[in-house]
Chains A and B, each alone.
Chain A
Amino acid sequence: MDTTLAKRYARALLTLGESDGQYSKYGEELSSFAGAFSQCPLAAQVLDSPVYTYELRSKILDSILAEAQLSPIVANFVHLLADRNRLGIISGIAESYGKLVDEKEGILRGVVTTPFDELSDSQFSAIREALGTFTGAKVILAYQKDPSLIGGVVARVGDLVLDGSLKTQLKKLNDSFS
C-alpha cells in the first residue's frame, strides 16, 4: 500500500472536515465504509475494474453510498477515489485519517499487556492516567493478554514501550550471567 499517497488523500479530507468542524464524523464514516469495502472484495473488484463502463461503476457506487448513508463530503470523496481508481487504498486512507485526527486531538493509542485474564477498571484507569501524565497526551488503551509475561505489565503507546514484566526481568537476570 502506498502510505504516502494514502496520507495525502487523508490530509485532504481532514482539511475539509476541519473547515466545517465535522472531521470526527467523517473519520468514523470513512473508517466504517473502508471496513465494509474491505470485507466485500467483489465490490472492490468491480468498482476498480476498467472492464465495466464508468457509468455502470458510477451507478453501482451510488447505490452503495446511498445504502451507507454517508455525508455528502465523504460520499464525494469516495466518488473521487473511484474516478481515480484509488478505492484499493481506502483502508490505508482511513488509517492515515485516524492517525491524523489522533495527532490533531493529542490522542495516543496504545496497548496494555498483562499475563492476567483481565484488569479491573480502576487498574486500567490508573495505568491510562499515569501514561497520560507521562506523555502529556490523551491516551486510549486497549487490553491484551500474554501469559508468557509471567507477571507485571507492559504498555506500548506510540513509539514508547514501558516494560515492567517479570519475563523481561528474568531475561535481564539471565543476561547478567553472560
Chain B
Amino acid sequence: MRYKTASIIILAFLLLLLAAPLLATEGTSYFNYSRAAWLDFGKRVMNFVVFFLILFFLLRKPIKAFFKGKKESIARNLEYLETQAANLDEQNQVMRKQLSSLAAEKEAVIAQFEKDGARERDRIIAEAEKTAEGIVLKTEAAMGQEVKTAKRKLAQETGRRAAAIAAEILKKNITDEDKRRAVVDFVGSITKLPARN
C-alpha cells in the first residue's frame, strides 16, 4: 500500500517535470528562460504539490472507503448471484426431474384413460345390447297383444254382424206358426223348471 502511494507521488512529480520541457519549447530555448520564470515555475510546482498533498490526505480515506465498500458490495452481489445461480441450477435439476416424472405420469394417465375408455365402451355396448333385447321383447309382447286384441275385435264384429243379419232374417221370415211355437216353447221351458216353493 505504501509502495502504491509513493509511486503515485513520484508519478505526479515526474509529470510536473515533463511540463517544464513542454513549456520551454514555446519558441525559445531551454536555456534562454529568465530566473523569474524559473522562480514562477518553482512556485507553481510548490503550489501544485501542496494542493496535491492536501487533496491526497483529505480524499484518501473517503475514496479508499468508497472503493472498499464498492468492492465489498460487488463481492456480496457476486456471492449472492453465485448462490442464486446455484439455486437456479438446483431448481433446474429438480424441474428436469419433475419433467421426466411428468412425462412418465402422462404416459400412465393416458394408459389409464385408454383402459377406462375401453371398459366404458364395453359397458355401454353391453347396456345397449340389453336395452335392445328388452325393446325386442316388449315389441314382441305388444305385437302379440295387438294380434290378440285384433282377433277379439274381429270376433266381436263378426258376432255383431252375424247377430244383426240373423235378426233381419228372423224379422222378415217369422210366421204366425213361429209365434205360436215360441209361446209353446216358452211355456214348455217354464214347466220344465223346478218349482220355486
Q: A interface vs B, CB < 8 Å? A: 114, 116, 119, 123, 126-127, 130-131, 133-136, 150-153, 155, 160, 162, 164, 166-167, 170-171, 173-178
Contact = CB atoms under 8 A, between A and B. Distances in A.
Given A152-B186, A167-B167, A174-B160, 12 more contacts: A114-B182, A116-B179, A127-B183, A131-B190, A133-B190, A133-B195, A151-B179, A162-B186, A162-B189, A162-B190, A164-B186, A170-B166
A127 B187 contact: yes
A175 B174 contact: no
Contacts of B179: 114, 116, 151
Contacts of A150: 167, 170-171, 174
B189 A164 contact: yes
B174 A151 contact: yes
Contacts of B156: 174, 177-178
B193 A173 contact: no
Give the interface SS of chain B, mostly helix, strand, loop or mixed: helix
B197 A177 contact: no
Contact of A177 (B162, B166, B184, B187): B162
B170 A135 contact: no
A166 B170 contact: yes
Nearest to B185: A164
Contacts of A170: 163, 166-167
A-B pairs, top 4 by smallest CB distance, nearest first, are: A177-B159, A130-B190, A153-B186, A174-B159
Contacts of A173: 159, 162-163, 166
Contacts of A160: 196
Contacts of B152: 178
B170 to A, nearest CB: 5
Given A123-B183, A178-B152, A134 B159 contact: no
B73 interface: no
A145 to B, nearest CB: 12
B167 A126 contact: no
B146 interface: no
B191 interface: yes
12 contacts: A114-B179, A114-B183, A123-B180, A126-B184, A131-B190, A134-B193, A135-B195, A151-B182, A153-B182, A173-B163, A174-B160, A178-B156
B155 interface: yes
Residue from B170, B180, B190, B193 with most neighbouring chain A CB atoms (10 Å) = B190
Contacts of A155: 186, 190
A147 to B, nearest CB: 9
A160 B195 CA distance: 13
